[in-house]
Amino acid sequence: MQIAFLKASNPVEDAHFGCGGTLTGHAGNASAISQDGNTLAIGAPHENSGAKGVNGNQNDHSLYSSGAVYVYTRNGMR
């Protein structure tokens, strides 16, 4: 049973959301889940943002392949 659908808040194909590694093929994993299962971090190694900190300017595309991490938390139902 699917309980959630996750995507980047600013989806762009070449950001490689959820892909590990840095070369074509992206071997590896770009996600981590907390021990209690309520927090998930997903990487996008080629996201092009120059934004700084949490909730930075998602329209800033000034740094090529700088990367980003998207953090999701679950509330309530398991």
- pLDDT tens readout for residues 11-67: 887 888 888 655 555 556 778 999 998 999 998 888 898 888 888 888 888 998 888
Phi, psi of 43 (to 5 degrees): -90, 155
Q: Is residue 1 part of a domain?
A: no
**6 falls within a domain:** no
Domain range for 35 is: 11-78
Judge whether 3 lies within some domain. no
- Taking the whole predicted model, whether its pTM rises above 0.75 is answered as yes
Number of domains forming the structure of the chain: 1
Q: Which helix (H) or strand (E) holds 70?
A: strand 68-73
Q: Is 49 left (phi over 0), alpha (psi -120 to 50) or beta?
A: beta
| The predicted structure's pLDDT at residue 35 | 95
